Amino acid sequence: MVNSAFAIEQARLAEARQLPGPCHDDFLRLSRTLIHGPPFQWLLVEAPDEGLRRQVMAALDRVLQRAGLRSDRLPLSDKILDVPMLEARLVNNARQAPVVHVIGRPGWFDAARWEAFNTRRERLAADARARLVFWLDGEAIALASRSAPDLWAWRSGVYAFLPAAAPGAQPAPGGERPLPTPSPNDDGGVDTRSMAERSRRVVEIRAWLEGNPEAPDELLISLVDELGQLLFSLGDLDEALAHWREVVLPLHRRLGDARRQAITMGKIAGILQARGQLDEALRIYQEEALPVYERLGDVHLKAITMGLIADILKVRGQLDEALRIYQDEALPVFERLGDLRSKAIMMRLIADILKVRGQLDEALRIYQEEALPVFERLGDLREKAITMGRIADILQARGQLDEALRIYQEEALPVYERLGDVRSKAIRMGRIADILQARGQLDEALRIYQEEELPVYERLGDVRSKAITMGKIADILQAQGQQHQKPPPA
């Protein structure tokens, strides 16, 4: 099954982050060209280290599989004696798979063979309609540019995958590799960087950590904190959870930083909450985080945590208590501190409860007048998209399906795709499917539920949302079954 464009993009970035730092950008370039380029391509890749080449090819094949592109391998062994034999093998392999990896060996391509390959280029383009990826050494690639200039002009791209320098190699002046520049959003503010930018930042931090294994805890702490937040924002919840539990939390404990320990526990609870593990998330907020903020007198973090507790109560249907916490325990603190963003979020959460209770006019007023203008002024794209989605929910409930659909598709989805917010995107895709289902477009609604929404909840471990989506799928299958039943004979 071919995945959505968003899922493929996420897979590309996830695979790139697992490669050595120098490979990140060329992997993204190569995978993008293979997926989105024309059926026939001739690409040259320098990968002198066999282990790294295997790692890159395996990562590439996983991404290609998601995009519905099968790959095949053609080693330049002793059995391929000359270029005509290579041409015949390429044509045959191209019939079997849209991507063919040609794995070179040193010395096979000399000047004469490149010239012979050049004379066959037009026939190859016609008969071997595939993405031909030549994995060669640097000398063979350089020889191609000199010996076959006409062929060289046909290349779709040249890429290099080189091993990262050994830890401590080529130190910067002063003897130590420079610490990566901290992100401007390390304090938990709005991060508007694209998925690719954040993915590249993950690679940069990991490379520094691997190159500086003896760095003191005081130097590591800001980087490991940022790394966890980046993994979470990119939807790598398993990795973020393990990182916070196994790396960040022990580091804060060694440093004796009770406040940062409580913050990290809150982040762990946030993942458990997103997965539907509400009891454990609530326990952490109430027993591991809240008492610390109360003891330290941190009224701001206490108010945020109370809001998170109210979020869980709201999901459980305890709307009165959730509303009381939003209005009495959190909102006044943000107003007193002048925290406009947190206040606007609280107002949106209050409106959410009013919406559930059917008080649509007041909820819509709060979204449009109390929340949306603040997020627009602050440039908070994610919170604006969430609020626009809530407005669309009300329009949908009122039967204004065209405008609701427009908002979901034009105001919300592009933001989630840029930011890599897989869960929010899945929720909005579900709303779109709800509209299509209401309009009788059952096949497309079913496709979205099954391909765009359900796999996200399964990957995130969100059992509650998965169950709801499964119920919608069952409703459609039942309706389709009834449609196909023959009427009883008269």
Q: Residue 332's pLDDT band (boundaries 50, 70, 90)?
A: very high
Q: Residue 165's pLDDT band (boundaries 50, 70, 90)?
A: low
pLDDT of 490 reads 45
pLDDT at residue 488 tops 70: no
Residue 183 within any structural domain of the chain: no
Q: Residue 184's pLDDT band (boundaries 50, 70, 90)?
A: very low
pLDDT of 185 reads 44
Residue 81 within any structural domain of the chain: yes
Work out the average pLDDT over 282-307: 96
pLDDT of 191 reads 67
Residue 296 within any structural domain of the chain: no
In the 8-state DSSP scheme, what is residue 101? E
* H or E element at residue 443: helix 442-447
pLDDT of 189 reads 54
Work out the average pLDDT over 231-239: 86
Work out the average pLDDT over 153-158: 91
The residue from 111, 144, 160 where one domain ends is 160
Q: Residue 481's pLDDT band (boundaries 50, 70, 90)?
A: confident
Phi and psi angles of residue 164, each rounded to the nearest 5 degrees, phi first? -70, 150
The residue ranking higher by pLDDT, 402 or 483, is 402
Q: Are 76 and 86 spatial neighbours (Cβ–Cβ below 8 Å)?
A: yes
Q: What angle do CA 351, 429, 450 make, to 5 degrees?
A: 135
Give the whole-number percent of the chain exceeding pLDDT 70.
92
Residue indicated by tokens 């062929």: 151
Residue 421 within any structural domain of the chain: no
Residue 61 within any structural domain of the chain: yes
pLDDT of 5 reads 79
Give the chain's mean pLDDT. 89
The residue from 160, 182, 209 where one domain ends is 160
pLDDT of 213 reads 84
Per residue in 397-452, pLDDT tens?
999 999 999 999 999 999 988 887 888 999 999 999 999 999 999 999 999 999 88
Q: Residue 65's pLDDT band (boundaries 50, 70, 90)?
A: very high
Residue 101 within any structural domain of the chain: yes
Q: How far apart are CA 403 and CA 468, in angstroms?
A: 25
pLDDT at residue 181 tops 50: yes
The total domain count for the chain is 2
Domain of 125, in residue numbers: 5-160
Assessment of whether the complete model's pTM goes beyond 0.85: no
pLDDT of 25 reads 87
Per residue in 68-120, pLDDT tens?
999 999 999 888 999 999 999 999 999 999 999 999 988 899 999 999 999 99
Residue 312 within any structural domain of the chain: no
pLDDT of 174 reads 36
Q: Which long-range contacts (CB under 8 A, 24 or more apart) does 27-34 make?
A: 27/56, 27/59, 27/60, 27/161, 28/196, 29/157, 29/159, 30/60, 30/133, 30/157, 30/159, 31/60, 31/63, 31/64, 33/156, 33/157, 34/60, 34/64, 34/69, 34/99, 34/131, 34/133
Q: Could you tell me the CATH number of the domain that includes residue 17?
A: 3.40.50.300
Per residue in 342-365, pLDDT tens?
999 999 999 999 999 999 999 999
By C-alpha distance, which of 375, 379, 306 is closest to 340?
375
The residue from 114, 140, 160 where one domain ends is 160
Judged by average pLDDT, the poorest of 48-52, 241-245, 300-304, 461-465 is 461-465
Residue 91 within any structural domain of the chain: yes
pLDDT at residue 483 tops 70: no
pLDDT of 276 reads 84
pLDDT at residue 187 tops 50: no
